[in-house]
Amino acid sequence: MSELPEGWAEASLRDAVDDYETIDPKASPDELFSYVDIGAIDNSVQKITAPKEFLGREAPSRARRVVKSNDVLFSTVRTYLKNVAQVQPELDGQLTSTGICVLRANEAVDPGYLFRWVVSDAFIDEISQAQDGTMYPAVRDDDVLSGPIPLPPLAEQKRIVRKLDTLSARTTTARTHLTAITKLVERQKLAVLGHLFGKSSSDPKPTEHLWAIPASWEWKNVKDVGEVGLGRQRSPENHQGPDMRPYIRSANITWSGVDTTDVKEMNFDDADFKRFELKVGDVLLNEGSGSAKEVGKPAIWRGEIPNCCFQNTVLRVQPRDCSSEYLYWYFLLTALSEGFVKDTKGVNIQHIGKGGLANFPIPLPPPEEQDEIVRRIETALTEIDRIAAEAEKALKLTDRLDERTLAKAFAGELVPQDPNDEPASMLLDRIREARANAPKKTRPRRTKATAMKKDPKDLLLADIAKWPANGVTSEELAKRVVMPPDNLRDALFELLGGTKPQLVQVFDKTEERMRLKRMAQ
């Protein structure tokens, strides 16, 4: 930590927080509890937005820590995601997970100052270095409590918090307006595309009925205007061979075109290469997605990579009786309005399917009208995209502005110092002395019933002895060992870490996934 201003002190979070309570909610089986887990925290705004509720008898095993108003909750899993929030008054006395470190400000620190410090990039970067594990990268409570905090005099902390509140309100307002622009841009795109394809704003999604079109136009299915194909299925035996070639998958299809920054390879013999080679002008769509808003996202192949093929998560249309651009823009209208979703199959992941796309209707004007429609779309959307890009750039700038403001605050440059303020070191000394003189807390004796409970790590160790030589995946492990997911995660984290880890994670190149294996003894 760089040199601190006069009157400031460098401390650890442990110096600035008090202990919290833990309870077993099952001891009050009929009491209703609110519960804050990681999923309850919206990390885009660092607020608790979706706490769960349950009766004591239904409490998850990790619901143990009692929170109070103004406590700062810091998720110890994937700290870089900034799942951090401050407890609202209505959640006072409720519960959080043992996977969340509870930071309860003592008299040395203002709760608002504490919150802003632990959510800052400076603290997150520092604490993330202590993360361990690949499947469940996490830190321990002790890592968080050992983290540093620059402490100004308490009076100055309060001045900093008031200033940050004022500045934060301004950037929040700006962010709200910029986000509204992004939504307006999407609606404007839909309006422009719909109008130029003869669809009025009152018409429902393209798949729901065929709307009235000009007399010179006609409705055609996609298979009538182009060749529809589904990419090649990926199999373990294709991961190596003499004819390794790049291929496009759904992850490479973005709203801005084909992204070639992460293109993988697999073996395509001559026959397969001839069948699945991409040609300039091919229109590609992602065949399925877990989100309705992503199904059928289109892009035009411009020959970005030579000798490139495509996988079965991607559909291809090779146009015959219409231009690639015309087909692309109509598919974009359909995807943005979720028009592909009605005819998709699946629950968790929705698929269009080769047959579904082949029989999908499109309005088809004469060739010269197609060209004019494309020209008008590109002219109109160029200006819309410019506005959207500027709004997005400004939105990113507000995030950077917030972080720079925090950096100034923690360098003592945001508000003036007052030489009459009590130095933070004096307050810390009193707190440390009071702690040293406080009666030692005695740990409650475990009851016989508690001691007889089977430890999750012991259950996992018993199963490890039965693992196959090539180990197991996380999905296979969840089926083999029946216990709450949080308990399994903690047991795994313990066996993967430490000075003598008993498990190791290995990447299986054949399956392209991680496997857990026993460490050689």
| Residue 496 is assigned to a structural domain of this protein | yes
Question: What is the spatial distance between Cα 381 and Cα 185, in angstroms, rounded to a whole number?
Answer: 10
Same domain, 64 and 129: yes
Structure tokens at 190: 């839909």
Q: What is the pLDDT of residue 330?
A: 94
For residue 317, the cross-strand partners are: 228, 283
Same domain, 458 and 335: no
**Closest CA relative to residue 245, chosen from 271, 269, 229:** 269
**Closest CA relative to residue 164, chosen from 215, 116, 199, 93:** 116
Angle value at C-alpha 152, between 150 and 154, nearest 5 degrees: 130
The answer to whether the CB of 97 falls within 8 A of the CB of 33 is no
Structure tokens at 187: 């609606």
Q: Which residues constitute the domain of residue 89?
A: 9-153+421-437
**Closest CA relative to residue 74, chosen from 28, 41, 32, 112:** 41
Radius of gyration of the chain from Cα atoms? 29
What distance lies between CA 223 and its chain's CA centroid? 37
Cβ contacts of residue 120 below 8 Å, gap of 6+? Answer: 403, 406, 407, 410
Q: What is the DSSP-derived secondary structure letter of residue 70? A: T
Same domain, 64 and 145: yes
What distance lies between CA 336 and its chain's CA centroid? 22
Q: Report the largest interatomic distance among the alpha carbons of the chain, rounded to a whole angstrom.
A: 92
**Closest CA relative to residue 421, chosen from 216, 158, 95, 196:** 158
What is the CATH number for 344? 3.90.220.20
Question: What is the spatial distance between Cα 516 and Cα 143, in angstroms, rounded to a whole number?
Answer: 25
> How would DSSP label each residue in 458-510?
HHHHHHHTT--TT-B-HHHHHHHS-S-HHHHHHHHHHHHSSSS-SEEEEEETT
Instruction: Name the pTM for this structure.
Output: 0.55
Same domain, 187 and 246: no
Question: What is the spatial distance between Cα 7 and Cα 422, in angstroms, rounded to a whole number?
Answer: 7
Same domain, 224 and 290: yes
Same domain, 225 and 201: no
CA torsion through residues 486, 488, 494, 496, sign:
negative
Cβ contacts of residue 477 below 8 Å, gap of 6+? Answer: 463, 488, 492, 516
CA torsion through residues 246, 247, 249, 253, sign:
positive
| Residue 4 is assigned to a structural domain of this protein | no
Structure tokens at 409: 């605050």
**Closest CA relative to residue 60, chosen from 86, 80, 41, 38:** 38
Same domain, 289 and 307: yes
Q: What is the DSSP-derived secondary structure letter of residue 319? A: E
Give the pairing of strands 244-248 and 41-42: unpaired
Structure tokens at 388: 């959207």
Structure tokens at 296: 């059928």
**Closest CA relative to residue 193, chosen from 332, 75, 10, 398:** 332
Same domain, 279 and 382: no
Same domain, 16 and 48: yes
Question: What is the spatial distance between Cα 285 and Cα 344, in angstroms, rounded to a whole number?
Answer: 14
The answer to whether the CB of 87 falls within 8 A of the CB of 119 is no
Same domain, 257 and 272: yes
The answer to whether the CB of 358 falls within 8 A of the CB of 316 is no
Same domain, 47 and 140: yes
Q: What is the DSSP-derived secondary structure letter of residue 453? A: S
Same domain, 359 and 489: no
| Residue 443 is assigned to a structural domain of this protein | no
| Residue 3 is assigned to a structural domain of this protein | no
* Full pLDDT tens readout for the chain, 521 residues: 568 999 999 999 999 999 999 999 999 999 999 999 999 999 988 999 999 999 999 999 999 999 999 999 999 998 989 999 999 999 999 999 999 999 999 999 999 999 999 999 999 999 988 776 555 688 999 999 999 999 999 999 999 999 999 988 888 888 788 878 877 887 888 888 888 888 765 555 554 557 888 899 999 999 999 999 999 887 767 777 788 999 999 989 998 889 998 898 989 989 999 999 999 999 999 988 767 678 889 999 999 999 999 999 899 999 998 999 999 999 999 988 888 876 555 545 678 889 999 999 999 999 999 999 999 999 988 888 888 888 888 888 887 888 899 999 999 999 999 999 999 999 999 988 888 887 776 554 433 333 334 577 777 888 888 888 888 887 777 777 766 666 777 777 777 766 677 888 776 766 666 788 887 75
Q: What is the DSSP-derived secondary structure letter of residue 120? A: S
Count other Cβ atoms within 10 Å, centred on residue 27.
10
| Residue 359 is assigned to a structural domain of this protein | yes
| Residue 432 is assigned to a structural domain of this protein | yes
Please report, to the nearest 10 degrees, the dihedral formed by the alpha carbons of residues 385, 387, 392, 396 taken in order: 140
| Residue 2 is assigned to a structural domain of this protein | no
Question: What is the spatial distance between Cα 283 and Cα 297, in angstroms, rounded to a whole number?
Answer: 10
Q: At what angle do helices 367-410 and 154-196 cross, to 10 degrees?
A: 180
Domain count, the chain: 4
**Closest CA relative to residue 12, chosen from 432, 430, 433, 498:** 432
| Residue 442 is assigned to a structural domain of this protein | no
